[in-house]
């Protein structure tokens, strides 16, 4: 619980964070930037879980431990995505989405 | 603490033991005898599949996080059978293409890890277990899709799969956080009691539905499907389209019929329109495909649209028809992918045009492919007809006659493009048809099992009654 800040402000910020992530996922052309956008989405839900637990249901810690698991899984996801990006970079020397369109329609 | 409770997790523990055994075997088997790891993995998984058919108690573990009942157990057995057939079909590919790069055992370990994730996902009792299972089932498959590191399209399909599934899981997590905000719990049993229809829970449900729709590749979340299937190795494309999709349909069904039942008014409307869009877009895009893998990808999107017809019906009938359809779909699609894999392995050809004159050179393979395509299209003597028929009955019993009409229109469209392939094989004389070849023993066993399944499952009616009886658990 933070003095002077209600749950509405924080939930507004996480919603904005979520939609920045979705916008970045759609418009960015660099694979690494797309990955960062996905991380923003995941972090928005992490903050959401912690805040909802803290403000609305403080007696059980379900939301907090959920968020720890999300952070761990997101790290695994990022590691795998970066390794695939590196394997792609070895072949085409680029991380641009415009280069990975050999398969279409 | 009573350790006999852990027998409820028998399937998971056995699969974990197989993974560890393969890891140890990888260390101790010398480099020139790596081929034996294929036989070892097939043998262990075969035993696991057979043992799985023994009965299991109905109960839950870890305060309700993990639960199992006869329907979930039965569905795990179906998935085991599907993975076993898939391993039989891909054994030759691993032997010829993967073992010489010295990464044969990793293939099995990753595939089994993904199956383990699917087990946990479908027997999840709360959203945390569901999320962990979902991720464990997706991440290894993304690594496997990028498995042929020498090929550019394989890496491309891997990156497309991992980024879209990461987005999907992020979106569904945001939805889960909203469901948590409205009810104060992530356990399915408690959610069921407290969930009510308000704006926040509706938004959460829509986001969760969108996240799972990515896995089932429903329109408008289907864009990754065709690209990933084309670039990934064929056995992985077949795993994605059969096992992973079947499991995602199953967990979506459980969520809709139990936890999200209070919001049924909204999700019935959503499924109504998504089913129509999925069937039409899947079928219309399949018409113009030239590559066999892309063709099967769009056909599997269209099949997902048909499955939604079962979800719209009431719970017991809907559950039974969906499980029955997924069972038949696993056999038919595995047969089609198996033939494509056999031909691709021998000749490297994947275009529909290359299949011209196949009947003259390889009559058995073209008969198997014809049966599989007829079953996917739903032509009466084979099993696919009964699966579709029951789905349509389920939707019609709720009064969705217009939806059933549109589905029948779609069956007609799909018949056209399935028959295009059959025509290329049987009626056309190709200029240089694929020469005659004999399959290895594993591939032959795999194809024979699928053919038996396609021919018998539709006619053997006690099976449907058995599934219908099991399906009463979610009422």
Instruction: Summarize pLDDT for B225-239 with one digit per residue, the tens.
Output: 989 999 999 999 999
ipTM of the assembly?
0.94
* C-alpha to C-alpha distance for B136 and B244, rounded to whole angstroms: 12
Whether residue A14 lies inside any domain: the answer is yes
Q: Is B284 exposed, middle or buried (0-12, 13-18, 19+ CB in 10 A)?
A: middle
Whether residue A15 lies inside any domain: the answer is yes
Number of domains making up chain A: 1
Whether residue A105 lies inside any domain: the answer is no
Whether residue A54 lies inside any domain: the answer is yes
pLDDT the model gives residue A72: 94
Whether residue A104 lies inside any domain: the answer is no
Where does the pLDDT of residue B100 fall: very low under 50, low under 70, confident under 90, or very high at 90 and above? confident
Nearest CA distance, B285 vs chain A (angstrom): 8
Nearest residue, CB atoms, B186 vs list A62, A84, A92 = A62
Buried-exposed string B297-327: b where 16+ CB fall within 10 A, e elsewhere = bbbbbbbbbbbbbbbbbebbbbbbbbbbbbb
* C-alpha to C-alpha distance for B49 and B77, rounded to whole angstroms: 7
Q: Does position B327 have pLDDT exceeding 70, yes or no? A: yes
Nearest CA distance, B343 vs chain A (angstrom): 21
Tell me whether residues B131 and A42 touch, CB distance under 8 A. Answer: no
**Share of residues in chain A with pLDDT > 70 (%):** 99
* C-alpha to C-alpha distance for B410 and B145, rounded to whole angstroms: 30
B100 phi and psi angles, rounded to 5 deg: -75, -15
Mean pLDDT of chain A: 90
Q: Does position B467 have pLDDT exceeding 90, yes or no? A: no
Tell me whether residues B166 and A31 touch, CB distance under 8 A. Answer: no
* Residue of chain B whose Cα is closest to the Cα of A23: B167
Instruction: Summarize pLDDT for B253-266 with one digit per residue, the tens.
Output: 999 988 888 888 88
The stretch B361-376 carries a mean pLDDT of 91
Instruction: Summarize pLDDT for A21-33 with one digit per residue, the tens.
Output: 999 999 999 999 9
Which two structure tokens, joined as six digits, stand for A34?
């797309």
For residue A74, give the CATH number of its domain: 1.10.287.3510
Tell me whether residues A73 and B171 touch, CB distance under 8 A. Answer: no
Contact B110, B239 (CB under 8 A): no
Mean pLDDT of chain B: 89
* Residue of chain A whose Cα is closest to the Cα of B227: A103
* C-alpha to C-alpha distance for B311 and B318, rounded to whole angstroms: 6
* C-alpha to C-alpha distance for B154 and B440, rounded to whole angstroms: 25
Kind plus residue range of the DSSP H or E element containing B38: helix B36-52
- Chain B residues in contact with A97 by the CB 8 A cut-off are none
- Find, among B219, B260, B235, B20, the residue nearest to B130 by Cα: B260
The stretch A61-71 carries a mean pLDDT of 92
Tell me whether residues B170 and A102 touch, CB distance under 8 A. Answer: no
Domain that holds residue A42: 7-99
Where does the pLDDT of residue A3 fall: very low under 50, low under 70, confident under 90, or very high at 90 and above? confident
- Please count the other Cβ atoms lying within 10 Å of the Cβ belonging to residue A94: 13
Whether residue A30 lies inside any domain: the answer is yes
The stretch B406-415 carries a mean pLDDT of 92
**Share of residues in chain B with pLDDT > 90 (%):** 51
Instruction: Summarize pLDDT for B60-80 with one digit per residue, the tens.
Output: 888 888 988 889 999 999 999
pLDDT the model gives residue A105: 62
Where does the pLDDT of residue A46 fall: very low under 50, low under 70, confident under 90, or very high at 90 and above? very high
Tell me whether residues B152 and A81 touch, CB distance under 8 A. Answer: no
The predicted model scores a pTM of: 0.94
Nearest CA distance, B464 vs chain A (angstrom): 38
- Find, among B288, B309, B255, B317, the residue nearest to B125 by Cα: B255
* C-alpha to C-alpha distance for B341 and B349, rounded to whole angstroms: 10
* Residue of chain B whose Cα is closest to the Cα of A49: B177
Give me the helices (H) in B123-195, please: 127-145, 152-183, 188-194
Which stretches of chain A sit within 8 Å of chain B by CB?
18, 21-22, 25, 31, 34-35, 38, 41-42, 44-45, 48-49, 52, 56-57, 60, 62-63, 65-66, 69-70, 73, 76-77, 80-81, 84-85, 87-88, 91-92, 100, 102-105
């Amino acid at each position: 619980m933070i003095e002077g800040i209600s749950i509405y402000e924080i939930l507004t910020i996480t919603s904005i964070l979520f939609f920045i992530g979705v916008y970045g996922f759609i418009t960015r052309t660099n694979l690494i930037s797309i990955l960062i956008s996905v991380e923003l989405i995941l972090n928005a839900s992490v903050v959401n879980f912690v805040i909802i637990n803290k403000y609305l249901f403080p007696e059980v810690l379900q939301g907090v431990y959920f968020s720890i698991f999300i952070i761990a899984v997101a790290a695994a996801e990022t590691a795998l995505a970066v390794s695939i990006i590196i394997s792609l970079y070895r072949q085409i020397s680029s991380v641009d989405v415009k280069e990975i369109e050999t398969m279409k329609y | 603490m009573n350790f006999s409770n852990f027998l409820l997790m028998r399937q998971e523990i056995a699969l974990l033991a197989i993974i560890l055994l393969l890891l140890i075997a990888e260390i101790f088997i010398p480099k020139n005898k790596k081929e034996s790891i294929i036989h070892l993995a097939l043998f262990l998984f075969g035993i696991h599949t057979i043992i799985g058919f023994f009965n299991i108690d109905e109960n839950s573990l870890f305060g309700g996080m993990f639960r199992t009942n006869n329907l979930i157990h039965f569905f795990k057995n179906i998935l085991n059978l599907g993975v076993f057939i898939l391993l039989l079909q891909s054994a030759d590919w691993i032997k010829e293409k993967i073992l010489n790069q010295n990464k044969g055992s990793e293939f099995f370990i990753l595939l089994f890890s993904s199956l383990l994730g699917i087990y946990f996902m479908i027997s999840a009792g709360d959203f945390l277990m569901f999320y962990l299972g979902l991720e464990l089932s997706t991440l290894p498959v993304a690594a496997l899709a990028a498995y042929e590191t020498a090929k550019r399209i394989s890496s491309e399909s891997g990156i497309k799969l991992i980024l879209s599934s990461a987005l999907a899981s992020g979106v569904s997590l945001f939805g889960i956080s909203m469901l948590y905000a409205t009810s104060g719990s992530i356990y399915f049993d408690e959610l069921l009691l407290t969930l009510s229809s308000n704006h926040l829970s509706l938004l959460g449900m829509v986001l969760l539905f969108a996240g799972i729709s990515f896995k089932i590749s429903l329109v408008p979340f289907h864009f990754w499907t065709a690209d990933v299937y084309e670039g990934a190795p064929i056995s992985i494309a077949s795993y994605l389209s059969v096992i992973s999709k079947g499991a995602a349909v199953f967990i979506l069904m459980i969520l809709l019929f139990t936890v999200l039942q209070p919001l049924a008014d909204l999700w019935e409307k959503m499924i109504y329109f998504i089913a129509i869009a999925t069937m039409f877009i899947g079928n219309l895009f399949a018409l113009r495909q030239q590559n066999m893998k892309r063709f099967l990808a769009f056909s599997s999107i269209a099949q997902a649209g048909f499955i939604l017809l079962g979800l719209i019906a009431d719970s017991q009938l809907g559950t039974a028809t969906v499980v029955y359809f997924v069972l038949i779909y696993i056999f038919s699609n595995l047969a089609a992918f198996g033939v494509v894999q056999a031909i691709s392995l021998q000749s490297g050809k994947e275009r529909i045009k290359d299949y011209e004159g196949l009947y003259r050179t390889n009559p058995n393979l073209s008969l198997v492919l014809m049966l599989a395509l007829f079953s996917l299209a739903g032509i009466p003597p084979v099993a696919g007809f009964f699966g579709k028929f029951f789905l349509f009955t389920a939707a019609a019993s709720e009064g969705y006659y217009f939806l059933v009409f549109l589905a029948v229109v779609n069956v007609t469209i799909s018949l056209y493009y399935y028959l295009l392939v059959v025509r290329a094989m049987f009626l056309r004389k190709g200029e240089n048809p694929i020469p005659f070849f004999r399959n290895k023993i594993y591939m032959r066993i795999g194809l024979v099992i699928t053919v038996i399944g396609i021919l018998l499952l539709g006619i053997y009616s006690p099976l449907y009654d058995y599934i219908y009886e099991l399906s009463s658990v979610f009422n």
